[in-house]
Structure 1
Amino acid sequence: MLKILTLATATAAALGSSAFAASRVERVAFASHGEQIVGDLYLPEDLDAKPRPALVVTGAWMTVKEQMPARYARELADRGFVALTFDFRGWGESGGARRQYEDPSAKVADIEAAVAYLAARPEISKDRIGGLGICASSGYMVTAAAKNAAIKSVALVAPWLHDAEVVEQTYGGKDGMARLEAVGDATEAAYRRTGKQTFLPAASLADERAIMFKVPYYTEAGRGMIPAWRNEADPAFWRGWLTFDAIQAARRLHQPLLMVHSEAAAIPQGAHKFYGRLTGPKQELWLDNVTQFDFYDRAAPVKTASDAVEAHFRATLGGAGEAGQ
């Protein structure tokens, strides 16, 4: 079912009253492929002896748990879900010798490790674990879910989903991709030769070398530019990122899925392509005139998306008071 909401409707919803309970946060750690993963577990204040449905919440590329994942995890914990955010290997507080390196396959594996960690927690119903992916991690989340039946339900907010065709459209055609791959390959060669990483700004308003040049959120104090986030990236990631195909997971994904997006946000063509190839239960909500970065922290889009995500997971995982293993 396709729904379209205007920004005015979303704003009105965000200003409405809320009866949600407050949440609390517990610092946690678990292992993924021999490295320590550090996370924040958001727990509803009304947590009781009955096991709860739980969610792994992941954010955009090159980000840490305190950015957009924290915003959505708190929203969902306030609605009664246990929600886990974490730093992927090589990012934030987590282990990993190679830092600030966007590695899709490693991030998929870390999501699976996070799901396994949740399944072992006594507060959590191990057969009611879902995944919420935001932006680039949507591709990692659906890839993990397509091969891991422990993820019972999936929701995506502002999903960045690409394949070879969408990548070519997005990054300036074959020539644009070749330039990025050349930068990445040269950086990778230097790393293999010296063992030392090279870093560029992840985001900047002035430095044209930045991976994200002249973008909001990451360059704004109080939004994405926070002390916990290191504004650097290893450009050797380019080939792995450009050849990662998230859309291929659609036909192998059988769990129920919700997608929340906007035509004004990033690569909607990839989202449409992915959604059209899904064969399992699916639902989509498209908001009017909401940018990619609005979805990260602006009150109206975040609340509207969170309300939709809550409804999806309640329908597919059950409510807090329901029986579960």
Structure 2
Amino acid sequence: MLKTLTLAAATAVALASNAVAAPRVERVTFASHGEQIVGDLYLPEDLDAAKPRSALVVTGAWMTVKEQMPARYAREMADRGFVALTFDFRGWGESGGARRQYEDPSTKIADIEAAVAYLATRSETSKDRIGGLGICASSGYMVAAAAKDAAIRSIALIAPWLQDAEVVEQTYGGKDGVAKLEAAGNAAEAAYRSTGKQAFVPAASLTDDRAIMFKVPYYTDTGRGMIPAWRNEADPAFWHGWLTFDAIQAAPRLHQPLLMVHSEAAAIPQGAHKFYARLTGPKQELWLDDVSQFDFYDRAAPVKAASDAVAAHFRATLGSAGEAGQ
């Protein structure tokens, strides 16, 4: 079903909403492939120990940490009655991993699976009612994990970055642009293998054109994504693994119900449309009018509109938040 909602309407809904009590946040750790993962578990205020909740793994954009957009959406989900887990992937934030600031799709997919397995051990959660909420780049990681991990029972994607080789070429300047990035990444990888040392470039900058995200908002704003917990560096050796990562190929292998929330004004909507068309399982989409990629991360109106839709999806597919577990 295709739905659209204007930003003006979403704003009115957001302004009309009542404030709710903040959820309790518990620092947690678990293991993924021999490394310690550090996370935050958001617990609803009205949690009842006798009634395990539906639980969600919430993951964010590439090169980010748990305190950025994942925290915003985890809090929104806990406000709506779900247990929600955010975490730093290996090599990022507070989590372990020798190679830092390195965007590796395969590692992040495995970490999502480890997070799902950890959630299943928590007394507050029902192991048969775990879902995955992916934002931006981690949407691709989430669907890749779900395609092989039946423990992820339901999926929601917000402003998803979903690519294949065709979308990559459209996004990064055609075959020549992709080849240039691959060459830069391969040179950085060769240097790392030779010296054992990483050479970093800025992840985001308004002035340094070496940045992976040059003249990009959110990350360069201290009132938004540029927070103390985030290290503004990236290992450019990641390019080959990223550019060859195909998230769209997971679509026909997904059997879980899926909701996608996006906007034509956000990043690569053509990839989202392509992915959605290839889904064979239960699916719904909500397209918001005139919402940028970065406004999905932290602006009140689109965040609330997306969160309400996502919560309704998970209630319908995982059960009511306060329902007794299986």
TM-score (norm 1): 0.99
Superposition map of 1:24-43 within 5 A: 24-43=24-43
Letter in 1 for 2:114: A
Q: How much has 1:321 moved relative to structure 2?
A: 2.5
CA drift at 1:19: 6.6
Could you tell me which residue of structure 2 aligns to residue 314 of structure 1? Answer: 315
Aligned to 2:11: 11
Deviations 1:248-289 (A, max 9, x none): 000000000000000000000000000000000000000000
Write out aligned runs for 1:242-257 (5 A): 242-257=243-258
Determine if the alignment matches structure 1 residue 170 to structure 2 residue 165.
no
Q: Is 1:21–1:79's contact at 8 Å kept on the other side of the alignment? A: no
Q: What is the CA–CA distance in structure 2 between the aligned matches of 1:120 and 1:203, rounded to whole Å?
A: 37
Inter-partner Cα distance in structure 1 for 2:292 and 2:178? 24
Q: 2:269: which partner in 1?
A: 268
CA contact (8 A) 2:81 2:321 kept: yes
Task: Please state whether the residue corresponding to 1:39 is helix, strand or coil.
Answer: strand
Contact 1:62 1:102 in 2 (8 A): yes
**Residue by residue, what CA displacement relative to the aligned partner does 1:103-160 show, whole Å, maximum 9, x if unpaired?**
0000000000000000000110000000000000000000000000000000000000
Query: Alpha carbon RMSD of aligned pairs, Å?
Result: 0.7
- The CA distance in 2 between the partners of 1:118 and 1:264, in whole Å, is 34
User: What is the aligned partner in structure 1 of residue 295 from structure 2?
Assistant: 294
Give runs of aligned pairs for residues 204-215 of structure 1, distance below 5 A: 204-215=205-216
Shift of 1:20: 4.4
Tell me the alpha carbon deviations over residues 4-38 of structure 1, each in whole angstroms, 9 at most, x when there is no partner: 01110010111112374431100000000000000
Work out whether 1:52 is the aligned partner of 2:53: yes
Unaligned runs of 5+ in 1: none
- 2:202 matched to which residue of 1? 201
- Per-residue displacement from partner, 1:192-230 (whole Å, max 9, x unpaired)? 000000100000000000000001000001200000000
Q: 1:111 matched to which residue of 2?
A: 112
What are the superposed Cα offsets for residues 40-92 of structure 1, whole Å, 9 maximum, x if unpaired?
A: 00000111021100000000000000000000000000110000000000000
C-alpha separation between the residues in 1 aligned to 2:187 and 2:296?
Answer: 34
How far apart are the structure 1 equivalents of 2:230 and 2:63? 9
Contact 1:260–1:286 (CA<8 Å) still a contact in 2?
Answer: yes
**In structure 1, how many angstroms separate the alpha carbons of the residues matched to 2:201 and 2:185?**
11
Specify the SS of the correspondent of 1:271.
helix
Counterpart in 2 of 1:142? 143
Task: Tell me, yes or no, if the aligned pair for 1:26 and 1:42 is still in contact at 8 Å.
Answer: yes
Count of aligned residue pairs for this structure pair: 325
Match of 1:278 in 2: 279
Task: Give unmatched runs, 5+ long, in structure 2.
Answer: none
Decide which moves more: 11-20 or 173-182: 11-20
Separation in structure 1 between the aligned mates of residue 306 and residue 189 of structure 2, nearest angstrom: 38
Structure-2 residue corresponding to 1:76: 77
Aligned equivalents of 2:176, 2:265: Cα separation in 1: 26
Q: Distance in 1 between matches of 2:72 and 2:181?
A: 32
1:227 aligns with 2:228: yes
Q: In the alignment, which residue of structure 2 is the partner of 1:184?
A: 185
In 1, Cα distance between equivalents of 2:9 and 2:321: 28
Q: Secondary structure at the match of 2:16?
A: coil
Between the two proteins, what is the percent identity of the paired residues?
87
Report the equivalent of 2:66. Answer: 65
Contact 1:21 1:46 in 2 (8 A): no
Letter in 1 for 2:222: A
User: After the TM superposition, which segments of 4 or more aligned residues of structure 1 sit over 2 Å from their partners?
Assistant: 17-22
Q: What does residue range 84-103 of structure 1 map to in structure 2 within 5 Å? A: 84-103=85-104
Q: CA deviation at 1:324?
A: 1.8
Taking the aligned partners of 2:252 and 2:22, their CA distance within structure 1 comes to 38
| Contact kept? 2:81, 2:322, Cα under 8 Å | no
Q: CA deviation at 1:316?
A: 0.3
